[in-house]
Structure 1
Amino acid sequence: MFIMLSFPLLLLVLTGHIGIVRSSCTSKLEKSLFDDLIGMMLKLKGTEHIAYRKELRQNDIPAFTAYRNSAQRLSSNAIVKFDKLWTNNLSAYDVTTGVFTAPIAGLYHFSAVVMSISGKTLFLHLWHNDSKTAGSYTNGDGHKTGTFDVVLTLKKGDRIYLRCKGGHDSQSIYSDSDNYSTFSGYLIAQ
């Protein structure tokens, strides 16, 4: 068993022995050490030769988090464009179109938080190719947030995006330098 409590403090439990390691490693060195520790644990348990085990590295996993730091005015059926990125492994999210395109088939998790302009209605759907999935409707006084949280099975090339509901012109996504509106997705399993 391996448990990471915090960067400078690492707790390792192997065959009943507990050791505490203090260091100031770089993230690259920490990953290398972590990989070595996992390898040792697998050898201790006799599982290092499992033929079906496929090791994915962090940069091989489709994952993105996009956000807006300004408002976006939406016309009917317009796609929400989260135009800034924190993460975009495999360049699967396109900031110019607002669309995530699955680079590999698998089970994916998607989530989004969208904030309305104060006192205004905001009606959105999460789309999978040309089909609506989850919806979000916010209305009332003050700023409101709508959320999406879905797991979908995708084929390579499938597209995921947020779109304004048809027939609802003049809606807006609110955001500012505090980045209130975000959209994320990542591969769970192949």
Structure 2
Amino acid sequence: MWFFYLTAFLLLISARKTVTHECYTCDNIDDPDNCHNITEGGNGQSCFAYVNISGISKTFTLGITDNKNCGAILNYTSAIVKRDVYKKCFECCGKDKCNNRLCQHLKPSKCIDDVNVDCAHINEMFNICTKVDEAKNICPKFCRLCSLVDGNWAEWSWWSSCDVTCDSGIQTRKRTCTNPAPAYHGRQCVGNDTDTKSCDNQLCPVNGGWSEWSDWGTCSVTCDFGLKRRNRSCSNPHPSRSGDHCFGDSTDVDICTTRPCFTVAPFYAFKSHTVSDKYLADNKVLVFTKNTLNIGDVYDNSTGIFVAPVKGVYLFTAQICMYTGRGSYFGFSVEGRIESNIIAGDSGYYQCNSIDTVTTVNAGEQVSVKCVAACAGDALWEYLDRATSSFSGTLLHMYSNLTIFALKIE
């Protein structure tokens, strides 16, 4: 039963394709789409298209002919033409305007159902109204497709401005499927609604970029503290075409240190002799009253005290002349700290004993000669300025901040 209905439907469709339809008819035109002449064909007739190529020129002829001529159209050497540009469809056919839009059903000029097709019966069997592309050509009225409108593109809009202000960019234009807009199951427009093309502007400005830093230069001094420098240039790239210059400094500076400089330290020295108060007592400072040398005025011969003017290494010497059999202990007092103790006056004759020390003294500290222990009586003696007690000192090396810094590094 289904085979019967299917056969009947195919026969009806076949019959429909030989009934009245429309074809474009034009001779020797450059573009088939430029043909607008329409001729109505009858039963047993089909549309055809023919292309004539001569050298590099190409012309087209569109028309209508009897079906018996399909494949051997009179006066043409190539009657049935298969053209790749039209989806490889054969031109000789019985569809409306098929030689203009191959393999596409176009809406008839009048909304009438095909008299050779029982639309109600075919729809009941095959639900033809759901196949809009077929139904609008066979049963448009039955399927209520008389108001169907296939969409068509409107004109392109103006090109937009370039999307960049310099160098190469993109321009865009748009079109809408509104000429007319699809309605009542009509086809949407085929193709893109957006088109683009490249645009070129003036070259962009080039902003400058810093190069890598150079190596550090040599220190600006050969001793103590100095400066070293390194440089960079605005050349990666160079600014051009009104581009910005590099921001920041092109020179970098850092502190550098080398060996300490050798400086001439101030010279301090003194020597004094003759103790006027010869009476001894424990922890008593010996006051040497007669100066033979006092460079820097560092020794006070009224108190017997040396005050260090700078921090440094000093050499101190002293001579103690005593009567026999006394045996007193003497030493240097450095801020109350006793250094280089000796015992003097314990031999069997008058004698002078010497003591010395090399020590570090801070600026402002006091140094003196003291009788430390077993000190009593009138024990000191002198002989015609040839044997006399004395006290002397001298600066050997002065400490500076640089010296201290160097010592810490070591």
Quick check: TM above 0.5?
yes
Q: 2:376 aligns with which of 165, 169, 172?
A: 169
Q: Which has the higher contact order (CA 8 A, sep 6+)?
A: 1
1:79-134 Cα distance to aligned partner (Å, 9 max, x none): 01111111101111111111111011101011111111234333212111111111
1:150 aligns with 2:368: no
- Where 1:148 maps in the other structure, the secondary structure is strand
Residue 181 (structure 1) aligns with: 389
Residue 129 (structure 1) aligns with: 335
Shift of 1:53: 3.3
- Where 1:173 maps in the other structure, the secondary structure is coil
- Where 1:140 maps in the other structure, the secondary structure is coil
**Which range moved further: 168-177 or 127-136?**
168-177
Q: 2:311 aligns with which of 105, 108, 114?
A: 105
Residue 127 (structure 2) aligns with: none
CA distance in 2, matches of 1:168, 1:99: 19
Shift of 1:70: 5.5
Percent sequence identity is 22
> Do 2:276 and 2:287's aligned partners in 1 also have CA atoms closer than 8 Å?
no
CA distance in 2, matches of 1:78, 1:132: 13
Counting matched residue pairs gives 139
User: Equivalent residues in 2 for 1:59-138 (5 A)?
Assistant: 60-68=266-274, 72-138=278-344
Shift of 1:180: 2.3
Shift of 1:183: 1.0
> Do 1:64 and 1:93's aligned partners in 2 also have CA atoms closer than 8 Å?
yes
Inter-CA distance 142–152: structure 2 relative to 1 (3 Å threshold): same
Inter-CA distance 171–121: structure 2 relative to 1 (3 Å threshold): farther
Residue 55 (structure 1) aligns with: 264
CA distance in 2, matches of 1:163, 1:93: 15
Shift of 1:62: 1.2
Inter-CA distance 171–137: structure 2 relative to 1 (3 Å threshold): farther
Shift of 1:165: 1.7
> Do 1:101 and 1:159's aligned partners in 2 also have CA atoms closer than 8 Å?
yes
CA distance in 1, matches of 2:347, 2:276: 21
Shift of 1:67: 0.7
CA distance in 1, matches of 2:386, 2:378: 20
CA distance in 1, matches of 2:275, 2:371: 19
- Consecutive aligned runs of 4 or more in structure 1 exceeding 3 Å deviation: none
- Where 2:284 maps in the other structure, the secondary structure is coil
Q: TM-score, normalised by structure 2?
A: 0.32
Gaps of 5+ in 1: 1-48
Residue 9 (structure 1) aligns with: none
Shift of 1:73: 1.4
Inter-CA distance 146–119: structure 2 relative to 1 (3 Å threshold): same
CA distance in 2, matches of 1:179, 1:167: 22
**Which range moved further: 83-92 or 119-128?**
119-128
User: Equivalent residues in 2 for 1:29-44 (5 A)?
Assistant: none
> Do 1:116 and 1:174's aligned partners in 2 also have CA atoms closer than 8 Å?
yes
Shift of 1:167: 5.4
CA distance in 2, matches of 1:69, 1:131: 22
> Do 1:112 and 1:184's aligned partners in 2 also have CA atoms closer than 8 Å?
yes
> Do 1:69 and 1:175's aligned partners in 2 also have CA atoms closer than 8 Å?
no
Q: Aligned partner of 1:175: which letter?
A: E
